């Protein structure tokens, strides 16, 4: 099988609210609206993200965004009125979380300064 691309998808009860939220997070409007109830961003730091209308499953998704400095990300989100949880730190680096309007959990992860070895 040849793979041309991969999209991660999150369910929402409201495309309009999700679009506003993720436009702020990604700092740009969606790239496409391929069909009713679906918006998508291409090449967000190498990833493709879809948000689709699915009221029954809204809030059950997870998304991890790797950031170079968690403190800088926290400041940017504070300016947007979004609050991160307290941080957890370990050999894997540091993480903090927030939720989108539907309750989908978004984890921001700052990698360790030296590569994690397994």
Q: What pLDDT digit, counting tens, does each position of 59-85 carry?
A: 999 999 999 999 999 999 999 999 999
**Domain residue ranges in the chain:** 7-110
Tokens 């689709």 found at? 52
User: Which candidate, 39, 64, 63, places its Cα nearest to that of 53?
Assistant: 39
User: Which candidate, 13, 79, 5, places its Cα nearest to that of 46?
Assistant: 5
Average pLDDT, the chain: 94
114 pLDDT more than 80: no
28 pLDDT more than 90: yes
Average pLDDT over residues 39-65: 97
Q: How far apart are CA 6 and CA 12, in angstroms?
A: 19
Q: How far apart are CA 114 and CA 118, in angstroms?
A: 13
* Rounded (10°) CA dihedral 6, 55, 98, 77: 80
Tokens 């991890």 found at? 64
CATH among 2.40.30.10, 3.40.640.10, 3.10.180.10, 3.20.20.140 for 7-110: 3.10.180.10
């Amino acid at each position: 099988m040849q793979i041309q691309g991969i999209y991660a998808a999150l369910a929402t009860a409201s495309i309009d609210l999700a679009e506003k939220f993720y436009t702020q997070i990604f700092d740009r409007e969606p790239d496409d609206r391929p069909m009713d109830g679906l918006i998508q961003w291409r090449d967000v730091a190498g990833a493709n993200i879809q948000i689709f209308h699915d009221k029954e499953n809204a809030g059950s998704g997870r998304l991890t965004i790797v950031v170079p400095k968690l403190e800088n990300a926290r400041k940017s989100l504070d300016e947007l009125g979004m609050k991160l949880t307290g941080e957890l730190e370990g050999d894997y680096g540091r993480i903090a979380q927030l939720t989108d309007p539907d309750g989908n959990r978004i984890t921001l992860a700052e990698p360790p300064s030296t590569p994690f070895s397994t």
